Structure 1
Amino acid sequence: MPLTLLAPDDWRTLARAHEERSGRYALPFARRRERGQAHPVEDFLFTYYTLKPGQFMRWHPGAGVILQDAGERADWKFYRAATQQELEEAGLPPAEAATAAQAGTSVLVDTEKFAEDRASAIDFARIILGKTAAKPGFFGCFGLHEWAMAYKSVENNIRHDYLELRLGAEGTDRVVESHKIRCSHFDAFRFFMPQA
């Protein structure tokens, strides 16, 4: 994989821009959580995927990118100091590469460590993506998997009971009962109410 070298001003600009963009979603969620409030749509990213706001706001350069003057990241999970050879491959003259490698302040994502530690997750992703690509998708479900998750909400003490459904519980039940729910959003099935 070819290596890219990012100067401090360049990568810090990218990191700040990412933090500002992601902060528009993460910070309001964190403030609501502190107040004990919830938003049914905007909080989904952080509650469904159990993504922490700080993780979401942390910029990473991706594989094969060396960040100069980034010694504070050397101790981050899945980061390591760049070697002299890597710094030279990325374009630094040998003398500069030797000095930077010795200082240990030019860092990159440790893809080998990531692949080693996350092997089962990577294998799972390959399997599910392969199976997804091999089967035709069904795109005419009109979001009915969302309705199936709210089906029989009174009987099931639905977890979003603080929300008022526009149709009410009975109206929502009638929608589910009057349709054949066929959805390629397989992950949603685990949240279907038992009767759905």
Structure 2
Amino acid sequence: MHILRPDDWAAQLHEHKKQATDRLERFRHPGSYHPVFDFLFEYYPVRPSHLKRWHPGVGIALEGTPPHTEWRDYRTTEDGVTVDLASFLQRRGSSVRYISNLLRSSTSNPAHFDCFGLHEWAMVYHTDSPRHSLPLRLGADGTNRVVDEHAIKCSHYDAFRFFTPPARALNLTVLHREDQPANDQAGCVHVTMDLYKWAWKLGPLVPGQLFLECLDLAIAARILDMEASPYDCRDWGLGIVPIETPEGKAEYVSRQRELAHRAQPLRERLVAVIDQALAPLQ
């Protein structure tokens, strides 16, 4: 058990709130809608209070009287205030083990870099009701033509489930929730983005800095996701990755590989956190 003195944990708590507030001010604007970045606070239901809450993580005890004494899943010991693993795992143990399995599987499954972000195109294929209130860069007919001219190879269920009915039949594989550990793979932009979701779901087990790093990666993944999408996001400060062209495909794969490279150490740290939390139960 590593013990933090009041001055040390107070400084870390203050810095975490400062960094979280900075991200919220840059990427979230209450009272107005941002079709790119609000996704990170709606589809992933992370409230600002979640983001600002600093957790020291497993194996850390806080001397004195930190605010954590009033928080769920914390307890006071002779070393200080620390995560109450027994309480948290009693409630969330099955979820923690599922997340552990999914993170390990997405690392060991073969990575693919040939989807070109076509999942977003499949979500608006032959529909009059796109998911986002943004103009289609190539129009409806041009968007449909891009889908028709490509092989759809989505491997992520939480993208596939939003495909339009005519697009579902075009995917290389019909995906099901129960098969997610067998299909998630580290090359997928949405699997990279989901590290932010898993860090949030692991709650007090995850140190605050790791949570923010997962958010930063999710922001980068979301930008590529939308720049390569059929939507025109230039009015919202984004560029275009024209995946219907050879140049656009090359840029997408390059950035996709970079995101996967950034994701792997974060994934490993999340797995290490889970292993540390579950170790007393082994």
Normalised to the residue count of structure 2, the TM-score between the two structures is: 0.54
Higher relative contact order (CA 8 A, sep 6+): 2
CA RMSD of aligned residues (A): 1.9
1:183 corresponds to which residue? 154
1:14 corresponds to which residue? 12
2:65 corresponds to which residue? 70
1:127-184 CA distance string (max 9 Å, x none): 3234334421212212111221222231xx2231x21122222222211111111133
Matching of residue 121 in structure 1 with residue 121 in structure 2: no
| Aligned pairs for 1:32-47 within 5 A | 32-33=29-30, 35=31, 37-47=32-42
2:134 corresponds to which residue? 163
Equivalent residues of 2:115, 2:153 under 8 A apart? yes
- What is the CA-CA distance between 1:26 and the residue it aligns to? 2.5
Equivalent residues of 1:7, 1:68 under 8 A apart? yes
Matching of residue 109 in structure 1 with residue 83 in structure 2: yes
Query: Using a 3 Å threshold, how does the CA distance of structure 1 residues 152 and 19 change in structure 2: closer, same or farther?
Result: farther
- What is the CA-CA distance between 1:126 and the residue it aligns to? 3.0
Matching of residue 193 in structure 1 with residue 171 in structure 2: no
Query: Using a 3 Å threshold, how does the CA distance of structure 1 residues 153 and 15 change in structure 2: closer, same or farther?
Result: farther
Which structure 2 residue ranges, 5 or more long, are not aligned?
Answer: 168-282
Equivalent residues of 2:123, 2:131 under 8 A apart? no
Query: Using a 3 Å threshold, how does the CA distance of structure 1 residues 70 and 189 change in structure 2: closer, same or farther?
Result: farther
Equivalent residues of 1:25, 1:42 under 8 A apart? no
Letter paired with 1:148 = A
Q: Secondary structure at the match of 1:70?
A: coil
Letter paired with 1:48 = Y
Q: Secondary structure at the match of 1:191?
A: coil
Distance 2:16 2:9 in 1: 10
Equivalenced residue count is: 167
The structure with the larger Rg is 1
Further displaced range: 38-47 or 119-128: 119-128
Equivalent residues of 1:5, 1:67 under 8 A apart? yes
- Judging by fraction of residues, say which structure has more helix: 2
Distance 2:9 2:162 in 1: 40
Distance 2:131 2:117 in 1: 19
Q: Secondary structure at the match of 1:108?
A: strand
Distance 1:46 1:65 in 2: 28
Normalised to the residue count of structure 1, the TM-score between the two structures is: 0.76
